[in-house]
């Protein structure tokens, strides 16, 4: 666990007996200072994976290990407004994280200013718009400078300037050693992340895109891409368009396909 902030091994999750598996045998290690984006279609289990990473939900099977004393910040996809003003809510959370009053006030002011949310602090949360609630939830998760940040669709309802600011904040935090995991459908958010994984049918896989994995073929060895069976034709086409030579395609598990490919300039 030296450079690893958090690790999942063989994690499976279902919500109750007779319910389908939401996650199946997920293995994941997240390094300190890294930013990981989890992508995937609706209902793929992204929020469940993030809740398990955050420790908000226990896995049905498997192990979640965290570095010792890891302070954690969690931003849910939707924050149901608690019965506070935004300012009171954030001050309560600053106290929960053992921040001194001045320290808490300072962090709240700084983050609210950067995310253009100062005017929200005096308002009751029940009256805030979806985007404003999203800003309050983001500030809440960042309080106390946690060393592991889990954010569920953090950019979803934010305006463009706030998206850029939040991306910059995440980048700054990662540079100081914070491990960040977020999920987002937006393609542009991949620029924030330095690693991207795709969750499909409960399995976590590397995305089959040359842009995300191109660095891995430096030694000329074939790179393995695992994709869902239904998306394999599309992904093979995308790889060829991106300058890859397909070496081999074979079945991977019940629903997957493994594609082995090398860069065209390195292929024999």
Partner 1 sequence: MSRVAGYLLAEYLNSRRWAAPFLLLVVGVVVIYAQPPNPVLETAGGAAAFLLLAQCWLALSFLNSQPDDDRQILAATMGGRRLALGRIAGLAALALLASLLTLGYPWIAGRFQRAPSAAELGWILVANLVCAGAGSALAALFARPAVRSRAVTVLAVTACLVVTVPLGLSPAPATANALDTTVAAQLPARFGGTIGSVTAFVLVATFVSALLWRYRE
Instruction: Give the residues lining the site for partner 1 (CB under 8 A).
Output: 51, 54-58, 72-84, 92-93, 95-98, 140-141, 146, 150
State how far the Cα of 30 lies from the Cα of 17, in Å rounded to an integer. Answer: 30
d(CA 266, CA 10): 35
What number of other Cβ atoms are within 10 A of residue 17's Cβ? 5
* Complex with partner 1: residue 81 or 190, whichever CB lies closer: 81
Min dist. Cβ of residue 176 to partner 1 (A) = 19
Minimal distance in Å, beta carbon 165 to partner 1? 22
> Considering the complex, what minimum distance in angstroms separates the CB of residue 264 from partner 1?
45
Q: Which is nearer to partner 1, 149 or 261 (CB)?
A: 149
Nearer to partner 1, 86 or 198 (CB): 86
Q: CB of 49 within 8 A of CB of 26?
A: yes
**Sign of torsion, CA 105 110 111 115?**
positive
Q: Minimum distance from CB of 96 to partner 1 (Å)?
A: 5
Q: Which is nearer to partner 1, 2 or 80 (CB)?
A: 80
CB environment 43-78: b (16+ within 10 A), e (fewer): ebbbbbbbbbbbeebebbebebebbeebebbbbbbe
Q: Two tokens at 156?
A: 């979803």
CB-nearer residue toward partner 1: 98 or 119: 98
Closest separation in Å from C-beta 245 to partner 1: 44
Structure tokens at 170: 């995440």
């Amino acid at each position: 666990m030296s450079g690893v902030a958090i690790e999942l091994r063989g994690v499976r999750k279902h919500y109750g007996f007779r319910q389908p598996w939401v996650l199946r045998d997920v293995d994941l290690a997240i390094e300190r200072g890294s930013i990981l984006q989890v992508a995937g279609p609706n209902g793929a289990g992204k929020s469940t994976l993030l809740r398990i990473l955050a420790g908000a939900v226990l896995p049905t099977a498997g192990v979640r290990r965290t570095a010792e004393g890891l302070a954690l910040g969690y931003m849910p996809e939707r924050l149901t407004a608690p019965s506070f003003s935004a300012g009171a809510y954030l001050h309560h959370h600053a106290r929960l994280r053992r921040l001194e009053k001045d320290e808490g006030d300072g962090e709240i002011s700084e983050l609210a200013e950067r995310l253009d949310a100062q005017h929200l602090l005096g308002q009751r949360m029940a009256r805030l718009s979806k985007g404003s609630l999203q800003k309050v939830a983001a500030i809440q998760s960042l309080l106390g400078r946690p060393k592991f940040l889990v954010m569920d669709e953090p950019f979803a309802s934010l305006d463009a300037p706030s998206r850029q600011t939040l991306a910059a904040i995440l980048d700054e935090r990662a540079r100081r050693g914070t491990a960040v995991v977020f999920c987002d459908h937006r393609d542009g958010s991949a620029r924030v992340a330095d690693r991207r994984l795709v969750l499909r049918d409960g399995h976590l896989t590397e995305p089959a895109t040359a842009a995300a994995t191109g660095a891995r073929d430096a030694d000329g060895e074939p790179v393995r891409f695992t994709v869902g069976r239904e998306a394999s034709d599309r992904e093979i086409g995308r790889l060829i368009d991106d300058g890859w030579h397909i070496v081999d395609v074979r079945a991977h598990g019940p629903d997957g396909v493994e594609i082995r490919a090398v860069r065209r300039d390195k292929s024999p």
